[in-house]
Amino acid sequence: MKKHADKIFLIAVLLPLLLFVFPMWKIKLIAPQYPDGISMYIWISKITGDSDATLQNINILNHYVGMKFIEPESIPELQYFPWIVLSIVVLGLLVWWSRKRVIYLTWSILLTVLGGLGIYDFYLWEYDYGHNLSPDAPIKIPGATYQPPLIGTKWLLNFKADSWPDIGGIALGMSILLGFLSYFLMNTKRDKVKLDQTSELPKKAAIALLVLVVAFFNFSCSKEKEDIRYGEDSCVHCMMKIVQPQYGAEIVTNKGKVFKFDAVECLLDFEKDRVVANEDIYQRWVVSYTEPQTLFPAEECFYLRSQNLPSPMGMFITAISEHQRAKSIQQESGGKLYSWEEIYDQYPNLDHLSDRIQDDVGN
């Protein structure tokens, strides 16, 4: 029985690798205008659909009811989940090599906990998208929410939403079951040893498991800004490539999502459109004109509007990290200087740029 248990456990350890080949979850929407349905697939590292236009169509539907756009590049879980899965597989191979019944159980319990945390995180993600609605939505129904079911079927207006695990998610569930099965099939008589005679490997494996769990929570709670990759990243608001190193901005949410922008005005438009609620924002960052590609807290910077400093989206808003530098550039280029509170409160109803704003120089 022990040989069979070892083989079963090895299969359990390798099954999570199917998450890199098949989707974890599938959400299908069926409505009169979509009689064949449109499907969204959630993978370990990406979100796709039946076609390249699926996410765009879903985001258009989301816009009408005030839901946030689905931006896969802004979902941190899609970046670190692959590393979690690879770590659990490598750890499982070490456990399989040890042939210790108690560590088989420990690994299976860890995989169960991580799987449960993943499902809970998925629920929170669905809740956020279905409940935090824009007050400016074209279609507003008092009290209505649009959270898809975690698993099963639910009607959302005239849409039937089906949410079920896909092949990758089923493989993960099978991995957990086979892990526990291998534990129960182990020959306990040959594996019984006194505690003081136990090898160091189980202890090291237990420590490694603990480190993995701690790492998971650290990644899940990370709220760090990200460097803007100029020429590669696109603005989540206007969809243009971010290319000017003296401009750029970011929003980091309480869940660790990062939204990147090519200009301060795109960040402001994004907020004013209520794509992300103010209470969900952890921090805002902007690139300082005097220190290209370097992000500073938005609330601590100053904002110069000058005809001589055109920003990427044409609102002439230039962020500068230091007040004296901002005044110096204002002396050279003209324009009007704002604090964050002023630019935020007055946007988009800012003064029209004209010669008269040159009178503000030196004030």
| Radius of gyration for the chain, computed over Cα atoms and rounded to the nearest angstrom | 26
Distance CA 272, CA 179 (A): 50
User: In the prediction, which pLDDT does 74 show?
Assistant: 77
Question: How far is residue 56's CA from residue 239's CA, in Å, rounded to a whole number?
Answer: 12
pLDDT at 275: 66
SS3 351: coil
Q: Which residues contact 180 (CB under 8 A, 6 or more apart)?
A: 105, 108
Cα dist. 356→201, 291, 347, 353 in Å? 76, 29, 19, 8
Max intra-chain CA distance, the chain: 91
Contact by Cβ (8 Å): 49, 180: no
Token pair for 280: 């969900």
What's the CA angle centered on 18, arms 13 and 19, to 5 degrees? 105
Other CB atoms within 10 A of residue 356 CB: 10
205 is written with which tokens? 């494996």
Which residue is listed with tokens 């009811």? 65
- The position carrying tokens 């975690």 is 150
Q: Which of 104, 101, 78 is nearest to 176 (CA)?
A: 104
State the DSSP code for 241: B
Q: What is the model's pTM?
A: 0.55
Tell me what pLDDT residue 230 has.
92
Cα distances (angstroms) measured from residue 153 to each of 30, 39, 156, 217: 11, 14, 10, 31
> What is the model's pLDDT at position 47?
92
> Can you give the pLDDT at residue 2?
63
DSSP letters, 197-213, are G--HHHHHHHHHHHHHH
Full pLDDT tens readout for the chain, 363 residues: 666 888 899 999 999 999 999 999 999 988 877 778 889 999 999 999 988 888 888 888 888 888 888 888 878 888 889 999 999 999 999 988 887 888 888 999 999 999 999 999 888 888 888 888 887 788 878 777 888 888 998 888 788 889 999 999 999 999 999 999 988 887 654 444 443 444 444 455 445 545 555 554 455 455 778 899 999 888 988 888 999 999 999 998 887 788 899 999 999 988 887 666 777 888 999 999 999 999 999 999 999 999 999 999 889 999 999 999 999 999 999 999 999 999 999 998 876 654 334 344 444
Cα–Cα separations (whole angstroms), residue 301 to 75, 127, 219, 320, 338: 27, 34, 29, 6, 9
How far, in Å, CA of 31 to CA of 38, rounded?
9
Selection from 97, 93, 92 nearest residue 108 by Cα: 92
- Distance between CA atoms of residues 226 and 236, nearest Å: 14
